[in-house]
Structure 1
Amino acid sequence: MSDVLTVTTDSGDLPVHRWLPPSGTGPGLLLLQEIFGVSDYIRSRAADLARAGYVVYAPQLYWRLDAGELDEADPDLLGKGMALAQQLPWADALADARASLTALRAAPEVSGGVGVIGFCYGGGLAFNVAALEPVDALVSYYGSALPNLLDLAQAVGTPSLHHFGTADAYLPLDVVEKIRAAVTADNDRAEFELHEGAGHAFDNPNPAFHHPGASAAAWPHTLAFLDEHLGAAQG
């Protein structure tokens, strides 16, 4: 179960979904959405992380657009998600993510470190946040904006884990290798995991994107990485 908090920003009240671990307290994780918003899939992953021992905040980044929830069964889900992402200025999304991180860090339920995890759109946003804010761990699933953010790589010194598929049409393997080179050049704590045959958004259970093998392999690695650097895994 989750509830919704509000974080005050210069533009108004930002809705932030919150999940608590069974113990009620634990390290914090900022979870940043795909282009489809705080969808059922993102909520499911947030619940998984909470069960593993984390206090999870997932800001509703489209709140300024008054877009409502996307129908994940819509045949044009990808097109509608891309249209929403294009309407949202990156600077606004980044400001909201940073405000959410500040609120998470100050939350009384949070004990220990604070990390950031993002998927697709959120994977790039999480990387940008980690370049500007002190976080204890970064997990980025196929961060779609990463090719445009590599000038920030030197500022990301935190332990990081990056998941990519080798059959990603949006981020081809040669682009992924450029990302790897930039992100690991000055950070020996950056890890890359390539998933053979997986396309973009392979963790999303929607049949249009899902790669069961890659998703099943990546998630335990993600939990182990977070446990190593944040130390909350409860099983």
Structure 2
Amino acid sequence: MIEIPTLDGDGAFDAYLAEPSGAPRGAIVVIQEIFGVNPGIRAKCDGWAGKGYLALAPDLFWRIEPGVELDPDLPNEFQRALGLMQKLDQDQAIADIEAVIREARRRMGESKRVGAVGYCLGGRLAFMTAARTDIDASVGYYGVGLEGLMGEKHAIARPLMLHIAGADHFVTPDKQKLIHEGLDDHPKVTLHDYPGEDHGFATESGARRSDAAAKLADSRTEAFFAEHLG
């Protein structure tokens, strides 16, 4: 874990750092689910480091409760995670993600590119990061509430890929329809649908994982970052 100063300099927060064995080809900010920077999110970072990227996962709940690590397969911890999500100031979270982007560029040099990939809550924040920061490329997995963010789509100037779970019980078919209607013709946005898959299908482990769909989505994400980050 490393410490990253906030943009306004009034505090600092922890982020999990995974470094490649050689010079990084780029950096990837891994944006947590509602369960904190838990073993699954750290494993995502380690995987990206193994592919040559500098990977950082910020603790976005640090103002509420730092160091949260929850297991989505345990009902009481799932409910606790929902409560933390409701308390999160998402605008502040985007500012913290921007601070991580700056830290990544500082570590690598400004010539290297930075991407972001997020899951669940992080999928929503990945969309917001694409619209509100100078991130070079972003990927969102089963982001919640994207249909309510269509007013920001005009600000997306760099590539964004979204993975949509067709049977997502948080993002119902009517909401998926609004997302497609809002983004299908956007020149910077690519949408992938996964029919029959539920929310959380690409988690690293646990009951929510759907292996074939996860591998397909992850292969698309890897190719996307290889194209846009190097």
Common fold: TM-score over 0.5: yes
Query: Is 2:106 aligned against 1:94?
Result: no
The CA distance in 1 between the partners of 2:113 and 2:180, in whole Å, is 25
SS at match of 1:18: strand
Amino acid of the structure 1 residue aligned with 2:4: T
1:6 and 1:16 in contact (8 A); partners too: yes
2:37 and 2:57 in contact (8 A); partners too: yes
Match of 1:75 in 2: 75
The CA distance in 2 between the partners of 1:91 and 1:71, in whole Å, is 23
Q: Unaligned 5+ residue runs, structure 1? A: none
2:201 and 2:210 in contact (8 A); partners too: yes
1:158, distance to aligned residue in structure 2 (A):
1.2
SS at match of 1:163: strand
Q: Unaligned 5+ residue runs, structure 2? A: none
Query: Is 2:42 aligned against 1:25?
Result: no
Q: After TM superposition, which residue ranges in structure 1, 4 or more long, deviate above 4 angstroms?
A: none
Match of 2:4 in 1: 6
Query: Is 2:184 aligned against 1:184?
Result: yes
Match of 2:170 in 1: 170
Match of 1:200 in 2: 199
Cα pair distance change 1:177/1:22, threshold 3 Å? farther
Greater CA drift, 159-168 or 3-12: 3-12
1:114 and 1:135 in contact (8 A); partners too: yes
Residues 63-101 of structure 1 deviation map (CA, whole Å, 9 limit, x = unaligned): 112254334153323211111111111222122112211
Cα pair distance change 1:205/1:113, threshold 3 Å? closer
The CA distance in 2 between the partners of 1:41 and 1:79, in whole Å, is 18
TM-score normalised per structure 2: 0.91
Cα pair distance change 1:67/1:170, threshold 3 Å? same
SS at match of 1:107: helix
Cα pair distance change 1:87/1:61, threshold 3 Å? same
* Paired-residue identity, %: 31
**Equivalent residues in 2 for 1:1-235, closer than 5 Å:** 3-10=1-8, 11-72=10-71, 74-108=74-108, 111-185=111-185, 187-231=186-230
The CA distance in 2 between the partners of 1:177 and 1:220, in whole Å, is 25
Amino acid of the structure 2 residue aligned with 1:152: E
**Structure with the higher fraction of residues in strand conformation:** 1
The CA distance in 2 between the partners of 1:96 and 1:37, in whole Å, is 14
How many residue pairs align between the two structures? 228
Measured on the aligned residues, the alpha-carbon RMSD in Å equals 1.9
The CA distance in 2 between the partners of 1:59 and 1:205, in whole Å, is 18
